[in-house]
Amino acid sequence: MRVCVPVCAKSFVELEQACERASAFADIIELRLDCLEDNDWATQLESLIRKQSRPLILTFRPSEQGGHRVLSRAEREAFWKRDWSSSPTALTDIESDLVCDAASQTFGGSFEWSRVIASHHDFSRVPADLEHIYERLAATPAHVVKIAVSANDITDCIRIFHLLERARREQRNLIAIAMGNAGVATRILGPSRGAFLTYASLEETSATAPGQVNAQQLRSVYRMDQIDEETTICGLVGQPVMHSVSPHIHNAAFAAEGVNGVYLPLEVRDIEGFIKRMVHPKTREFDWNLRGLSVTAPHKSSVMELLDWIEPEAKEIGAVNTIVVDAEGLRGYNTDVHGLMEPLRKRVGSLTGLSVAVIGAGGAARAAVWALQRDQAKVALFARTRPKVESLAQSFGVSFEPVQGAQFRDFDVVINATPIGSAGWVEGTPAGAEQLAGARFVYDLIYNPVDTQFLKEARDAGCDTLGGLEMLATQAQLQFNLWTGKTPPASLMYDAGLAALSR
């Protein structure tokens, strides 16, 4: 497995420092020379190249093809006509227009073809003529063909995987990537399916293309070096998903249990197309060892009509958060209820007869109300939007009130089942300290951040509190068991999630 880490810096000094950091995780380092503002190429670049212990890729990309500076064709031609013999191990990533002209002898320079990566980029879509682009580049003498296109939904990955299969049959070196969050699977699984290499960012903030995974995480969290075609694949389905710590939790469990498995973030817009074309064993369009899926917003309810069997509890709740994939079809479960209730019971004991306020009107609130009523708690709903909470309250026969101005002093437990206060969503809190004063116990289902504003307000009001990370780990433990038959310690999964959130 080859991991290439691109480094992009404005000066040669910064570039050299970045190379030193990248060498800890990279098999190959890409020097993004189009990032440089220094103009003293001759001496500094040759010196930098000689110092590197890792093989290199040299890239000098124009802005219209994803580079960091405006470059004329004449500037690019002059650059690639230089003598690169000072770096016998360096590959040169050259755009398709120059490569194809050179191959047809309309470009006056000559390339050392054994070191050329012929690259094509499309930052807007997967082009309709993708296969023709591959054929045109494969017809050149270039050592490697690179095609990077943009995935607007996860099903765009299918054509990339098909292209990798074709290149392997034809014994052609190919780098094929679907850029963007919807294409992350191609970056992680590509090398196990024949890709010449994959790209990973040096730091979270230094990606040189959309959807690049951090190099350290690629090796430590996803254990990419151990992925092969027999690897069990599970993943998180939703939109968005890249913020989730579920990959950290489940991949830690795979490692601890000695299972050849990987858990991926799978950003899905069209859930029906995804299930039909990539998941269901009777209709999917390419072969991968997919075993299970976690399902998050906005697909927990809409996915139900696409499954072959659903457990009775999930049917009653009206939401599925777990799918098991086998040869016969797709089975749906709801592990959120177990994840929500087990930590709560540990803190407050039996819920029979307790007064519980649930803030929210979405899928999490629905699961909470169903579970609390099963445990014979007295439930009341609170929300900001009346029509939505009114429908939910009528479904379960509970009272409802607006959360604005509500007082929770008469409740034993107050549960936040809204996204208010979660990272990357909505800042703030659904209720303040004055509202929470007098409540016995406050439970926030949000896990990121670990300490939400809602929990801080509750502590200021003198309430005992619990955050959502324990719920996440508890429900994930049950998911993992459904997929693999193994039960890793919930504490291991919790610690993995906490470590990810503490970075």
Q: Measure the CA–CA gap between 441 and 126, rounded to whole angstroms.
A: 51
Q: Measure the CA–CA gap between 80 and 69, rounded to whole angstroms.
A: 16
300, 378, 388, 456: which is the annotated catalytic residue? 300
Nearest by Cα to 42 from 78, 94, 90: 78
CA distances from residue 456 to 404, 422, 439, 444 in whole angstroms, order as listed: 18, 13, 14, 11
Q: Measure the CA–CA gap between 65 and 69, rounded to whole angstroms.
A: 10
User: CB-side exposure of 283: number of CA atoms within 13 Å?
Assistant: 12
Q: Measure the CA–CA gap between 469 and 471, rounded to whole angstroms.
A: 5
Nearest by Cα to 148 from 175, 166, 168, 170: 175
Provide the phi-psi class of 332: left if phi over 0, else alpha when psi is between -120 and 50, else beta: beta
| Side-by-side strand order, sheet with 413-416 | 399-402, 378-383, 355-359, 413-416, 441-444, 464-466
Token pair for 486: 């193994």
Does 378 qualify as catalytic in the annotation? no
Q: Any alpha helices (H) in 356-468, and if so which ranges?
A: 363-374, 386-396, 433-436, 453-460
Q: Any alpha helices (H) in 227-305, and if so which ranges?
A: 246-257, 271-274
Give the residue numbers annotated as catalytic, written as ranges.
300
